[in-house]
Every structure is written in C-alpha cells, then in structure tokens.
Chains A and B, each alone.
Chain A
Amino acid sequence: MTSNALTPGIVAGRLPADQLSDNFSDLHPPLDDHEALVAADRCYFCHDAPCATACPTDIDIPLFIRQIATGTPEAAAKTILSQNILGGMCARVCPTETLCEQVCVRETAEGKPVTIGNLQRYATDTLMAAGVHPFKRAAETGKKIAVVGAGPAGLSCAHRLAMKGHDVIVYDARPKAGGLNEYGIASYKSVGGFAAKEVDWLLQIGGITVENGQSLGNGLSLDKLKADHDAVFLAIGLPGVNALNVEGEGKDGVLDAVDFISDLRQASDVASVEIGRDVVVIGGGMTAVDAAVQAKLLGALNVSLVYRRGRDRMNASVFEQDLAASKGVRIITNASPKEVIGNGAVREIEFEYTDDDLSPTGQTFRLAADQVFKAIGQTLGGSELPDLERGKIAVTGAGRTSIEGVWAGGDCAAGGEDLTVTAVAEGRDAAEDIHATLMA
C-alpha cells in the first residue's frame, strides 16, 4: 500500500487494513446478556408508553423490554417482529434519538433514555441467531399479489401478505433484494452482511418469490402486473436524485452520494474503495452525513459537509451531526454551491453564503475538492405511475392509490418520513388493507 491521507487525487487504501476494519465496525456494539439485563432494568414499564406511541410500527416496547428483563429474549423478539418484521434492521438504523428514545420518560427525567434500539437488536439478534422464524402462513388463499420493489416497504408488505396465505411475487430492478437496507444504509450501521441475512430469514415464511432484475417501466408494465395479479403494491423508493444545476456539475469527480454509498456497501473489501483527499459533500440530510462520515472513515484528509441553510434546519438529527463532527467532518452551513471548477476533473468548488431564507449574500468562498458528493434529495421519476402529489405517489388510507387494485408505500408514497421504519409500517398496513379488500 503506497497511498495515505495526503496522497492527492482519488485513490484506494489511504488507511491500513486494520484501521479500516475498525472504522467500519459496528457503530453501537451489540449488548451482551448482562448489559441487556441492566439496560432492560431501567425501563419503567410505562402505562400507555410514550415510546411505543412514537414508534411508527407501534412496537409494544415496555412488553418486549420486560421480556428481555425476565430472560426471554426470543419472546421479546416475537413481540417486536409481529409489529415490525424488519425489527432487526430498524434496531440498527432507526434514528431512535428522534423517535422512541426521544420521548422515553427517562430521557425526560435524566436525559438518558432506555436504550430501546440496542435492546431491540439484542432480542432480534438472539432469535435470528437461533435460526428461528416465528411466523407461519395461514391456509393458502389462492390470491396472487405483485410487490414492486424489495426494499423495507415491499418486504414488509410481502411478508404480511404471505402470512395471510397469499402468494407474493416481489419484482426488483436491482440484482439483490433489500432496497436501501442493502444499498444505502451506512456500513457501520449494518455490518456483517446483515441486510442480506435478514432478507433470507424473512423469506423463510414461504410463499414469496423474489424476481431480481425486473424493472417497472423497463420491461414490467403496471397494466400487465395488474392483469396478472389480484393486487399490486408499489414500493420502488426514490430511485432518482436531484441535480445541483450549477456550472461544471458534469466534471469528473462529481458523484451522487447514493452511488458512492452503494458502491461502498457492495465492495467486497473497503480497502478497494477509492476516495478523494479533499472531499466536499453537499446536502444536510442523512445521506449527506453518511457520505461524509464514510469518506472520512475511508481516510479522506479533509471532508466538508456544506448545507445551504442553518444547522437547525438540517434533516440530519443532532446525534448524526455530532457523529459527523466526532469523526472529523467539518460542517459548513448557510452556503450554496455556485460553480464546480476544474479542468476536466473537479479541483475546487465555489460557494456563496446564503441566509436562512436562501437569499444570496454575494459573498463567496472556494473549497479545494477532488471529489464532490451530491446529497440534495432523491426523486421518484418514472412513468406509468398512479397520480402523484408533490412528486410522490398520492395515497389515501393504508396506501390506496388513484388506481384501483394498486397500493403504494415507503419512500415512493406521499406522507410519512422517509425512514426504514416508516416504510415497514406502510408496507404492513397496506398488506392488511389488501388482504381485507381481497377477502371481502
């Protein structure tokens, strides 16, 4: 290995292998049995618990924590999974600091919530390690349902439908199932190939066929799907990305953050992933933070995250902002990109300071950059979709779209936050509605 942090340009192997593997290990290491008991003991078993209300999938949190406390983590896992079949992934990726743990009464009382996410992981890991799939299919109904997109929304919907006795075919454009669990979530949140293992575990229910390399609008048509199935659930996420629309955007070294992250997730060895010395990430959400942090973990010397408004407007939670800062990411706010400068490849990028309502100030500055990641939002795009509402599929009730027999959920559907757990909830609820409709 000849490169290091100072090597100019975009190169692989800036850090020694052992440091890389350290950097990409679990963000929150799993609890051991004793730690889990101690963490569980802090739960007050609240009445009508605020944490459960805050969970988009309505997991009975006090109950599952009590089941851990009494030494029955498998029962706890069942409590979790019956509401949220991807409880294992959610335990790793949920921004708990803005969901369940934010409203935990012990957060209120002493600023230290019960570590619900870690406990959820402890329970689900225990069950999955035992190789148990605790759900069984109901008698076959003879109904056939198409699910488009094998991300959290699609998988959750498919599992619930299969459990109800329906046959489900899941179509996905990508070569692997899992959606952003597989291609998007930061590496240090889902180590050891967990996303793929979870999909395999989920499919143990039976009755679900996954067909990869099948793209709606590119071979698959919604009309045909409708004709061949009793119902269709659309869960295609947000496959497009927003452009910066500034001069020089096409120069080499300017990439979509989601592509960088996806390449990183799919790399068989992080040491082979190339990264710039001076990296600039544009955006203020989870994707921007993940890209910036992982650039730093790969050994980039300088990583700046530039957001056009103030810190309080960033979509990334305070926990994530702090995580970025703790890894050495410099966060610059109130600055919009003006121009990407360089001869063929990016060399610098110019920003203009903007105040919170985005009015330009005329004051500019430049940052050295040999790599720029764009993380300013994903879009739906595509044709042949039901009616849209502000760029996403319009839905009413449990994901009903403007087309009869077609439901939608997850990131591609309007309403709800763009989170894994929300996608799971919407997939599950649509499945219940589809089931009720088909069996009526």
Chain B
Amino acid sequence: MKQAEVRQEKTSISFKNKKSYILDRVMPILLFLCAAVSIVTTIGIVYTLMSETIGFFRKIPVFDFLFGTKWSPLIAPKSFGILPLLSGTMLITVIACVFAIPVGLACAIYLSEYAPTKVRKIVKPILEVLAGVPTIVYGYFALTFVTPMIRMIFPSTGVFNALSAGLVVGIMIIPMVSSLSEDAMQAVPKSLRNGAFALGATRFEVALKVVVPAAFSGIVSSSVLAFSRAIGETMIVAVAAGATPKLSFNPLESIQTMTGYIVQVSLGDTPHGSIEYGTIYAVGMTLFVITLLLNILALYVARRFREEY
C-alpha cells in the first residue's frame, strides 16, 4: 500500500511545458515563410526574364544574337549581335581580375602569414569597409582620377575607356578576394605551418607551399566569385567605360558592357514591349546564365580541389 503511493508520486513528474511547445510549433513555420519569400522572388525574377527572353527570340534568331558581331539595336540599320557587348564585358572583367586577384591574394598572404595580430585586427575591417563603398563613388573615382592619370601616360586615350573602368572594378573586388582568401588561409591549421617551419622552410615558403595549396579551393572560389562580381558590375562601367559597343580588345577605347547597355536602355525612352526593349531581357538572360555557370564552377572547384586537413 505504502509502496504504491511512492510509485504514484514518482510518475507524476511533468515534462510538459506549454510555452516552449507552442513556440517550437510556430517558429519553424515562420522561418520557413521567410525562406519561401526569397525563393518565390527568385522564381519570379527568373520567370519574367525567361518569358521576355523567349518573346525576344521569337523575333530575332538566337544565332544572330549569339554570333552577330554588330550591336546596334536602337539605330538603323539595326543589328542584334551580342559579341561586342560580350567582348566589352570580358575586357573589363579580365582587366579587373588580372589586377585584383594577384593584389588581393598578396593582401591575404600578408594579413594571414605576416601581419601581427594587431595589424590584422585593424586592416581587415578597413578592407571590408572598402567593399561597402557605393559603386557610383568608384565610378566617379575612375572618371575623375584614374582616367586623367591614364591620359597622362597614354595621351590618345579616350575620356571613356575600358582600362580605367576595369582597374577601378578591380579595386572594388580586391577586398572580396583578400577577405575570402584570408579566411581560407586562416582555416589552415597551425600544426601544418609548424611542420614546415620545423623542416627549415622560410615564412614565404610556408605561405606559398603549404598555406596556399591547403587553402587553394577557398582561394579559387573567392576568385571565381570576384570574377562574376566584376561581370555584373554596372555603375562603374556605366560612368567610366562609355557607351560604344565595339568588338575590340583595345583597353584605351570606349566600349560598352552588357550591364552598361541595360542601364542605357532602362533610363532611355524606349517603348515597353518593343523589340528594342526586349533586348535588355535577352542581354540580362545572357548575363544571368554566365554568372550562374561561374557560380557552379566555383562550387565545383571548391569541391574538386579541396585538400583535406
């Protein structure tokens, strides 16, 4: 009789908590809704882009668009070859990356392998602030500071030119390269560095032959991301590179990029629904596909070259 009573007490412990129960039910739903909003928006954007692009290609053959060497959609004789815009974009991007990737990597190596902790703690946030400067500011920096400098060296350079815009796009993506690469280098365990130091490696050899290979996947994916950021950059090129679609690889001339063209048409008085207006969707789609492919490439590279440690 007495024993049964004791047992009764033991089983009466309550493990229920009404408050946390409701919260646990509601929170996942709320969070899911937030995630859903961004997914739905993305789908909406892609859908608009697709349908408008398909509409455009009903009127203009895909082949003419992809392989045409003349881009003149607004002025007769009209021509819809995207290659000049593509070459302009590539020119800017290549200039930017050739400049930014080595410099960004050097920054990352300095910060991760040489800089005392104090210096790193100060410099890294400053670099990241650079990434937050509005790109229009960079655009004017290119036009009013870099271009005059280039014209001092090459007097024949146009007021609008690819070199100035490319270099400044490069300056803009340096923080991205260096910050992401530095994160990857910091993730390399100290014990690996010590192993190399103990074999008589210099700091430079440790950085180049141990840290960089071990962080390689992170470095490559940061570079690919920076590359796709450069491709998509708009304000700097709209301000400093000019608006002359040209199948040319001369960096001292004015060119036009895909993004620059989209801005030009969006701001102009081209009537909605016309072929001319459709071009910006086709160009936007091209941009979207290229960036998407690059991001997939970055993911693939990050997996493929992962050195495990």
A is bound by B: no
